[in-house]
Amino acid sequence: MLTYILKRFVQLVPVLFGITLACFFLLRALPGDPATLLLGARGGAEEIAAMKQRLGLDLPLWRQYLLFLHDILSGSLGRSVVYGQPVISLVLERLPATLWLVAYSTVIAVVMTIPLALWSAVKRDRAPDILVKLVFTVLLAIPSFWLGLVLVVILAIWVPLFPTSGYGAGLFSRLHHLTLPAFVIALATASLTIRSLRSGILNVLGSDYVTTARAKGNATGRTMRVHVLPNALISSISVLGAHTSWVIGGTVVIETVFALPGLGSLFVESIFARDYPMIQGLTIVFAVLVVLINLATDIAYALADPRIRLD
């Protein structure tokens, strides 16, 4: 297991190198630059040139890229053009909100997935099964930002049960503020995991050991709890892990809709300001988070199924 984890971290190096190349040169291909946006209409040619020199944007691209790599290796990830602070400081300040959102939405998705998938599988091809599949297929097709806006209008404005924005201070206040955005993300996650778990349950229900357990007179509830659900969940771990990686990117939209002070909203702000160091640093952070989630998924998969070996 330890050898596998170390190998995955070694494999992360060329992946991150490729991401730095793509991010760096794609940013420079976009119209506009931080110096022009910072000075605005009041900036003449001389002021813009001086600002570019101060920001290091007048250097050759290869030197700018080497400086970017130096910032990564030093751990600072560079200095934000807009905020004037090290990127890593702003990342650490905003990271908790994003991690809370991802964790809370994952918990809600799991709580929704297990009972609904069981209900759908047990009532296969009957009204409950058709209803569950129809509802979550429709939810999967609805854009998250639109669903978020609808929930804000209904549950935060018409019926003021939840706040429209913000992060909260204490634990319960924080959970209260994050409920709507986490629920929006959880609906998208559950739309996939319910179908996966339902298929896994149906496969396990047709297996020989479940038939034997039923023949021995085991109660249906015990059979589902002891034999069916644990084995069916194994196939859903990879789906949940992959979708959690997607959620990391999805926070960009959700945090913007709900005005949450996380990495996603910071990323959007940085793009509009053409804050090159911040965008580059956040891209690296998102990439590392996705790799760590995928690694955790592989480990969880191996622990859940002893037949799987991680080499």
Q: Would you place residue 214 in the very low, low, confident or very high pLDDT band (cuts 50, 70, 90)? A: low
273 contact partners, CB below 8 Å, separation of at least 6: 34, 37, 38, 81, 82
Rg over alpha carbons for the chain, rounded to the nearest Å, is 24
Whether the pLDDT of residue 148 is over 80: the answer is yes
If one counts every other C-beta atom within 10 angstroms of the C-beta of residue 113, the result is 26
> What are the pLDDT digits (tens) for 108-138?
988 888 888 888 888 888 888 889 889 888 8
- By percentage, how much of the chain surpasses pLDDT 90? 3
If one counts every other C-beta atom within 10 angstroms of the C-beta of residue 120, the result is 24
If one counts every other C-beta atom within 10 angstroms of the C-beta of residue 103, the result is 14
Q: Would you place residue 88 in the very low, low, confident or very high pLDDT band (cuts 50, 70, 90)? A: very high
Dihedrals φ, ψ of 258, to 5°?
A: -100, 10
Q: Would you place residue 92 in the very low, low, confident or very high pLDDT band (cuts 50, 70, 90)? A: very high
Q: Which range among 175-189, 225-239, 270-284 shows the weakest confidence by mean pLDDT?
A: 225-239
Q: How far apart are CA 67 and CA 69, in angstroms?
A: 5
φ/ψ bin of 168: left (φ > 0), alpha (ψ from -120 to 50), beta (otherwise)? left
pLDDT in the model for residue 209 = 65
pLDDT in the model for residue 44 = 66
> What are the pLDDT digits (tens) for 263-292?
888 988 888 878 888 888 898 888 888 888
227 contact partners, CB below 8 Å, separation of at least 6: 204, 209, 210, 213
243 within 8 A of 1, measured Cβ to Cβ: no
Which domains does the chain show, CATH number per domain?
Answer: 93-304 (1.10.3720.10)
The larger pLDDT score, comparing residue 229 to residue 295, is at 295
